[in-house]
Amino acid sequence: MTTALILGGTQFVGKRLVKLLVEDGVNVTIATRGRMTDDFGDSVKRLVLDRTDDKTIKHALEDKEYDYVFDHTCYSPIEVREVLEALGTRIGKYIFISSVAVYNAGVNLKESDFDPRHFDIYYKSRHEYAGMEGYQEAKRAAEAVLYQQAPCPVVTVRFPYVVGEDDYTERFAFHVRAVEEGKAIGTKNPDARFGFIDSVEAAEFLKACALSDYEGPINAGTDDSISLQELLEYISRHLGKNYSFAEDSLHNQSPYDLGFDLAQTTKHASRKGFSFSSLQEVLEKQIEIHQTDVRESDDRGH
């Protein structure tokens, strides 16, 4: 039976991935800090470890071996290095959940725009990577460790904003509710562009990457991008309500407001046979999921 270790696995994309693998008969182990309950029952094995404590990692992974390792919880190059050191050559393939944030600002960003094989690694703990710049550096350095040191094939999946009804961050829901409630939204740059991927497709893509012979960085998600202004216009049209921007950019600030373009192209994935929903399909699904006040108002009207 195929074996998989999922670092994380109790929330959002990780939770969906666990269910997909279990349904396929994979022997799944989830490794977390043990602070959250899950509903997997006896279908998974569980390890307790703390990514910031190397002793717990060594203890939990001692003598273990996995066909696939899916890493959802790495926020420092130290953390991925310690997993590699603990498992050694007992990994078949390493699938790392990375981010579009590894790129510099721009649109239509492609995989070759950041090459982790030639990135200088400076080892710092996750607490030393502050803000967006820190997050970018952490993901870049973690990718670099994998490509420069891993003894197995590696795939680094560069996701844009992940959306879904199980999104505990409620970033997309924030915008739908703001329009519903007539709240002005703060932004430094309403024209900055970004992209999305549905959480269902994100989990399916991670599984597909593991089962394929693909190795290397790969972008995933909608190939088209959108700006905050366009997103709010889209939501506004669907809800039949107006939107507005706040005079102060920090007042009720959009969680998508980076202030600069950060949007990738997924043409490389398409050429490899992978496919994703269109931007319009993702937007319509998310608005339907998250529009609450409008639906309740309609129900009361009947």
pLDDT digits (tens, 9 = 90+) for 215-259: 999 999 999 999 999 999 999 999 999 999 999 999 999 999 999
The Cα 119–Cα 117 span in angstroms is 6
Model confidence at 296, pLDDT cuts 50, 70, 90, reads low
| Residue 27 one-letter amino acid | N
Contact 70, 5 (CB under 8 A): yes
The Cα 246–Cα 157 span in angstroms is 35
Strand partners, 245: 185
DSSP helix/strand/coil, 74 = coil
Domains of the chain: 3-160+199-219 (3.40.50.720), 162-195+222-296 (3.90.25.10)
The Cα 82–Cα 88 span in angstroms is 10
Average pLDDT over the chain, rounded to an integer:
95
Contact 225, 193 (CB under 8 A): yes
Question: Residue 116 gets which letter from DSSP?
Answer: G
pLDDT at 297 over 60: no
What is the model's pLDDT at position 302? 46
Token code pair at residue 234: 């889209």
What is the model's pLDDT at position 36? 85
Give the other-Cβ count within 10 Å of 90's Cβ: 15
Token code pair at residue 226: 């959108």
Strands (E), 152-295: 154-159, 161-163, 193-194, 196-198, 216-219, 226-227, 262-264
Q: What is the DSSP pairing of strand 226-227 with strand 193-194?
A: antiparallel
